[in-house]
């Protein structure tokens, strides 16, 4: 890590450890390397490592058990306070807020992503290929990974905004509760999901935040949706066919730009 000042070192160490967790290299439930090893890996002092571990523990991602080591507890920041707060809101309100977070995070990711972020996103998009359902819905990986898509989490990581990431994790936690889960459905097929992720990824790669926003808007609106008692999809935003056509055109134009860039 090419860092100079003490606070740069602290920030880089924190980012290094967080990335190990968000990319899944350190799986939830696993024990992380001991302090001297981490100090050697990162090239910083043990006190800097300790500080970074403490900071990740304070947001629920790590837990240090005396005499046993430090364990990964969550792949994203968690807050019981936030969950209590969210329980007062309807599913419609929560999902609409989640939509806003996804779009903003995608935009920020296009602006702030590093080469490492991009590599991690590419890997995640590849890992999650062929899932019959978008892992955002969570059925692919079972109860524990519900609403836990590595790709989406890494978009938030690349956005470099801890508050966005924290709120997103809290909202996903809330969606896992039985009362909400039963009312949610995924309407994107595996092919659509892969195509959507590829478009978002491509726009982030080109640092084109306008294309990124269009691509993410299109994805979230047929990703996780609410179904009514008759199992009919409640559209997140009612659109006329003309309005949908304009969105499709914008996404298509973005994809076209991406192909031109790759070709040129």
Residues 6+ apart with CB under 8 A from 134: 149, 186, 188, 193, 223, 224
Q: Where are the beta strands (DSSP E) in the chain?
A: 62-65, 69-72, 184-186, 224-227, 233-234
DSSP string, 110-145: HHH--HHHHHHHHHHHHHTTT-SS-TTT-TTT-GGG
Q: Which is nearer to Zn ion, 21 or 136 (CB)?
A: 136
The CA dihedral of 221, 232, 244, 91, to the nearest 10 degrees, is -40
Q: Which is nearer to Zn ion, 49 or 226 (CB)?
A: 226
DSSP string, 178-210: HHHHTTEEE---HHHHHHHHHHHHHHHHTT-HH
- Residue with smallest beta-carbon separation from Zn ion: 134
Q: Which is nearer to Zn ion, 71 or 97 (CB)?
A: 97
- Rounded to the nearest angstrom, the gap between the alpha carbon of residue 190 and the centroid of all alpha carbons in its chain is 18
Q: Which is nearer to Zn ion, 95 or 136 (CB)?
A: 136
Q: Which is nearer to Zn ion, 134 or 203 (CB)?
A: 134
- Using DSSP's 3-state secondary structure scheme, residue 224 falls into strand
Q: Which is nearer to Zn ion, 35 or 104 (CB)?
A: 104
Q: Shortest Cβ distance from residue 81 to Zn ion (Å)?
A: 27
Q: Shortest Cβ distance from residue 90 to Zn ion (Å)?
A: 23
Tell me which residue of 175, 172, 194 sits closest to 184, measured CA to CA: 175
Segment near Zn ion (CB under 5 A), from 34-42, 106-114, 131-139, 247-255?
Answer: 131-139
Segment near Zn ion (CB under 5 A), from 5-13, 33-41, 82-90, 128-136?
Answer: 128-136
- Rounded to the nearest angstrom, the gap between the alpha carbon of residue 178 and the centroid of all alpha carbons in its chain is 22
Q: Which is nearer to Zn ion, 149 or 166 (CB)?
A: 149
Q: Please check whether residue 175 is in contact with residue 147, taking contact to mean a CB–CB distance below 8 angstroms.
A: yes
Half-sphere exposure for 95 (CA within 13 Å, toward CB): 26
Segment near Zn ion (CB under 5 A), from 67-75, 134-142, 156-164, 251-259?
Answer: 134-142
| Number of amino acids touching Zn ion (CB under 5 A) | 2
Segment near Zn ion (CB under 5 A), from 42-50, 112-120, 133-141, 236-244?
Answer: 133-141
Site string for Zn ion, 83-122 (x = CB under 5 A): ----------------------------------------
The Cα 206–Cα 231 span in angstroms is 39
Out of 10, 12, 95, 134, name the contact with Zn ion by CB under 5 A: 134
The Cα 77–Cα 169 span in angstroms is 6
Q: Shortest Cβ distance from residue 100 to Zn ion (Å)?
A: 16
Site string for Zn ion, 135-154 (x = CB under 5 A): -x------------------
Q: Shortest Cβ distance from residue 204 to Zn ion (Å)?
A: 13
- Using DSSP's 3-state secondary structure scheme, residue 211 falls into helix
Segment near Zn ion (CB under 5 A), from 6-14, 50-58, 132-140, 239-247?
Answer: 132-140
Sites of contact with Zn ion (CB under 5 A): 134, 136
């Amino acid at each position: 890590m090419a860092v100079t000042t003490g606070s740069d070192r602290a920030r880089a160490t924190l980012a290094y450890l967080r990335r190990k967790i968000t990319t899944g290299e350190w799986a939830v439930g696993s024990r992380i390397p001991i302090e001297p090893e981490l100090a050697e890996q990162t090239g910083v002092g043990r006190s800097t490592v300790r500080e970074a571990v403490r900071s990740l523990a304070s947001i629920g991602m790590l837990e240090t058990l005396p005499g046993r080591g430090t364990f990964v507890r969550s792949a994203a920041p968690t807050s019981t306070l936030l969950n209590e707060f969210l329980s007062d809101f309807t599913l419609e309100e929560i999902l609409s807020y989640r939509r806003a977070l996804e779009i903003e995070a995608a935009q920020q990711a296009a602006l702030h992503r590093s080469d490492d972020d991009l590599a991690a996103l590419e890997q995640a998009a590849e890992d999650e290929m062929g899932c019959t359902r978008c892992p955002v819905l969570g059925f692919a990986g079972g109860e524990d990974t519900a609403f836990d898509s590595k790709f989406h989490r890494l978009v938030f990581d690349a956005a470099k905004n801890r508050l966005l990431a924290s709120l997103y994790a809290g909202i996903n936690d809330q969606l896992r509760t039985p009362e909400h889960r039963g009312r949610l459905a995924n309407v994107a097929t595996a092919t659509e999901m892969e195509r959507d992720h590829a478009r978002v990824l491509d726009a982030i790669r080109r640092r084109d935040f306008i294309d990124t926003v269009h691509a993410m808007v299109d994805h979230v609106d047929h990703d996780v949706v609410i179904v009514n008692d008759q199992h009919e999809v409640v559209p997140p935003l009612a659109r006329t066919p003309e309005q949908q056509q304009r969105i499709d055109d914008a996404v298509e134009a973005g994809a076209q730009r991406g192909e031109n860039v790759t070709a040129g």
